[in-house]
Amino acid sequence: SQTIHQWPATLVQPVGSPLSLECTVEGTSNPNLYWYRQAAGRGLQLLFYSVGIGQISSEVPQNLSASRPQDRQFILSSKKLLLSDSGFYLCAWSVNSQPQHFGDGTRLSIL
């Protein structure tokens, strides 16, 4: 069966520091991969998605970036975090586009 791993679970970072969140999927090949952010009490905002190695689609202009160096690995990065980057970050995967299945999430707090 397919599993998705996302880490770390929680992260506290100062403003201006870099960020790297990692997500890996097991048990499937060539999954579609997604990064979402959920602000407190709000819906999910799609940040990036990828349909293959090296293929990244960006949904929201911001200081975040994503990379897919391997088939089942998806990384979310930032060079300099802003206060507004705080939130709950979720990685998800799908095959044949739908539905999507989520990792446990990373709760990011910016101080």
Partner 1 sequence: RKEVEQDPGPFNVPEGATVAFNCTYSNSASQSFFWYRQDCRKEPKLLMSVYSSGNEDGRFTAQLNRASQYISLLIRDSKLSDSATYLCVVSNPQNDYKLSFGAGTTVTVRA
Q: Please, are residues 60 and 49 in contact by the beta-carbon 8 Å criterion?
A: no
Residue 95 Cβ vs partner 1, minimum distance, rounded to whole Å? 11
Q: Which residues contact residue 72 at a Cβ distance below 8 angstroms, ignoring those fewer than 6 apart?
A: 24, 25, 26, 28, 29, 31, 33
> By CB under 8 A, is residue 101 in contact with partner 1?
yes
- Residue from the set 25, 100, 108, 110 that interacts with partner 1 by CB under 8 A: 100
> By CB under 8 A, is residue 97 in contact with partner 1?
yes
Q: Which residues contact residue 111 at a Cβ distance below 8 angstroms, ignoring those fewer than 6 apart?
A: 12, 13, 14, 15
Stretch that binds partner 1, among 21-29, 44-52, 60-68, 71-79 (CB under 8 A): 44-52
- Residue from the set 7, 22, 46, 65 that interacts with partner 1 by CB under 8 A: 46
* 19 vs 37 by CB, closer to partner 1: 37
